[in-house]
Amino acid sequence: MIVPIDSEPQNNEAAPEPVVDESEDDEPPRNIFKYKSSHPEELILGNKDSPRKTRSQLRSEESLVGLIYMVEPTKIDEALKDDAWIVAMQKELNQFQRNDVWTLVPKPSHKKQAE
């Protein structure tokens, strides 16, 4: 430890050398505070060594999780294999009928029927 010198050198006297404590180590100071968490380790979700996250950080991540799982089919064959997609399409068609949005008309003779 370096001890500061308060007085200025007077006349032609040389300034005394600062006193250095030789017991000083290059080790960083250790945390002397000990605490016990009241949260049992078996109730910790995820990796306990990972940094803690606030509720708002978790909320923003939760909203992005839906994007990973919502993969819409790109082809009709894929959609028809997915039961949830069929139910969603049927609900949409029922809403059209219930709200009287469209009217079913006969197919024009010069057009092919959709498969």
**Alpha-carbon distances of 14 from 3, 6, 9, 10, 21, rounded to whole Å:** 17, 15, 7, 8, 21
pTM: 0.33
* Token reading at 55: 């509720």
- Classified as helix, coil or strand, 20 is strand
pLDDT average, residue stretch 107-114: 85
* Token reading at 64: 């992005």
Band of residue 68 on the pLDDT scale cut at 50, 70, 90: low
Better-scored residue on pLDDT, 55 or 105: 105
Band of residue 42 on the pLDDT scale cut at 50, 70, 90: confident
What pLDDT does residue 4 have? 57
* pLDDT above 90 for 91: yes
* Of 90, 85, 89, nearest in space to 71 by CA: 85
* Token reading at 86: 């069929």
